[in-house]
């Protein structure tokens, strides 16, 4: 119709274009870098400060040093929420969906970028915490070597959990859209609230996210000991369940994103 229509390049916008868009969005906010820095440094600091409280050289050391990782779990959960809700509160979402009306593709691109950033952060955090914890041990107590059974697995899986909680937050952000409400649900109800419930209800405790991170993923020993009220999930089942939670949140978020007016 007009002379202008002719200078369209071949093809169409793809996932990789959207992933680039989301990466630029993520890296161009100062809050991203502050969150990542806090997520890496705080847990290592806690591991450093509490290293001296280890009284044995056994496997408890690993889960002790990884306790600070729960901060990282909360932070990436919140970062995931914000990646979605900040677009709604600022109105950026209409620019985003006008640029890329295939909304599920946009959500997938966001998931890839948030998931990868949280994974790298989580692994860095876990490794740093492990070595920081080993630096302040009392005389005569030694940290287990990475080559000991379960040690490397505990570090890698705990680090990976940040990616899953980031995606969980992203999905909830797509469902709820309001920053304060979504953060309340993720942090207040799912993480903190769940932890309180778990203190009194031992039957559901092994299935609650923070207990999975601290007792299943971070464990080097058996998930079940004689005399325990209920067993923890094995590390891989724990990771699978966390992935399941993230998948459900993302699936519902995707359905709502596709169906509701932007």
Partner 1 sequence: MIEVCGLTKRYGSTVAVDRLSFDVPPGAVTGFLGLNGSGKSTTMRMILGLDAPDAGHARIGGQAYRQLRWPLREAGGLLESRAFHPGRSARDHLAALAASNAIRQSRVDEVLELVGLQAVARKRAGKFSLGMAQRLGIAAALLGDPAVLLLDEPVNGLDAEGIRWIRGLLRSLAAEGRAVLVSSHLISEMALMADRLVVIGKGRLLADTTAAELSGRAPSLEEAFLQITGDSAQYQARNLS
The residues of the shown chain that bind partner 1, judged by CB under 8 A, are: 1-5, 7-9, 11-13, 17-18, 20-22, 24-25, 28-31, 86-87, 90-92, 94-102, 261-262
Half-sphere exposure of 14 (CA within 13 A, CB side): 4
C-alpha 192/C-alpha 93 separation (Å) is 30
| Nearer to partner 1 (CB atom), residue 62 or residue 106 | 106
| Nearer to partner 1 (CB atom), residue 90 or residue 147 | 90
Contact 165, 214 (CB under 8 A): no
Count other C-beta atoms under 10 Å from residue 60's C-beta: 15
Distance of CA 224 to the CA centre of its chain: 26
In whole angstroms, how close is the CB of 33 to partner 1 at the nearest point? 11
Count other C-beta atoms under 10 Å from residue 248's C-beta: 12
Is residue 227 packed enough to be buried (19+ CB in 10 Å), middle (13-18) or exposed (0-12)?
exposed
Mapping DSSP onto H, E and C, the string for 188-199 reads HHHHHHHHHHHH
| Nearer to partner 1 (CB atom), residue 13 or residue 236 | 13
In whole angstroms, how close is the CB of 30 to partner 1 at the nearest point? 6
| Nearer to partner 1 (CB atom), residue 32 or residue 136 | 32
| Nearer to partner 1 (CB atom), residue 56 or residue 90 | 90
C-alpha 191/C-alpha 74 separation (Å) is 8
In whole angstroms, how close is the CB of 108 to partner 1 at the nearest point? 13
In whole angstroms, how close is the CB of 196 to partner 1 at the nearest point? 33
Tokens in use for 2? Answer: 């007009």
| Nearer to partner 1 (CB atom), residue 1 or residue 225 | 1
Half-sphere exposure of 238 (CA within 13 A, CB side): 27
| Nearer to partner 1 (CB atom), residue 8 or residue 56 | 8
Contact 61, 220 (CB under 8 A): no
Count other C-beta atoms under 10 Å from residue 181's C-beta: 16
In whole angstroms, how close is the CB of 11 to partner 1 at the nearest point? 7
Tokens in use for 224? Answer: 């079940």
In whole angstroms, how close is the CB of 73 to partner 1 at the nearest point? 24
139 dihedral zone (left: phi>0; alpha: psi -120 to 50; beta) = beta
In whole angstroms, how close is the CB of 88 to partner 1 at the nearest point? 11
């Amino acid at each position: 119709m007009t002379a202008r229509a002719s200078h369209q390049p071949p093809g169409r916008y793809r996932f990789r274009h959207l992933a680039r868009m989301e990466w630029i969005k993520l890296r161009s906010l100062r809050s991203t870098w502050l969150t990542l820095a806090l997520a890496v440094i705080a847990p290592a600091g806690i591991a450093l400060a509490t290293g001296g409280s280890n009284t044995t050289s056994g496997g408890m050391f690993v889960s002790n040093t990884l306790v600070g990782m729960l901060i990282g779990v909360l932070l990436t959960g919140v970062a995931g929420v914000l990646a979605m809700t900040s677009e709604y509160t600022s109105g950026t979402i209409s620019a985003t969906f006008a640029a890329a009306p295939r909304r599920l593709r946009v959500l997938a691109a966001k998931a890839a970028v948030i998931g990868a950033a949280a994974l790298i952060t989580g692994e860095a955090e876990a490794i740093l915490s492990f070595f920081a914890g080993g630096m302040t041990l009392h005389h005569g107590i030694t940290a287990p070597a990475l080559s000991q059974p379960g040690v490397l697995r505990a570090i890698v899986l705990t680090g990976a959990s940040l990616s899953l909680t980031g995606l969980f937050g992203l999905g909830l952000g797509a469902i709820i859209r309001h920053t304060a409400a979504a953060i309340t649900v993720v942090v207040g109800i799912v993480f903190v609230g769940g932890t309180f419930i778990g203190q009194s209800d031992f039957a559901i405790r092994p299935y609650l996210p923070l207990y999975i991170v601290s007792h299943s993923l971070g464990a080097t020993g058996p998930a079940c000991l004689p005399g325990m009220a209920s067993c923890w999930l094995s590390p891989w089942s724990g990771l699978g369940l966390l992935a399941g939670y993230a998948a459900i949140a993302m699936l519902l978020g995707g359905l709502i994103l596709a169906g509701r007016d932007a």
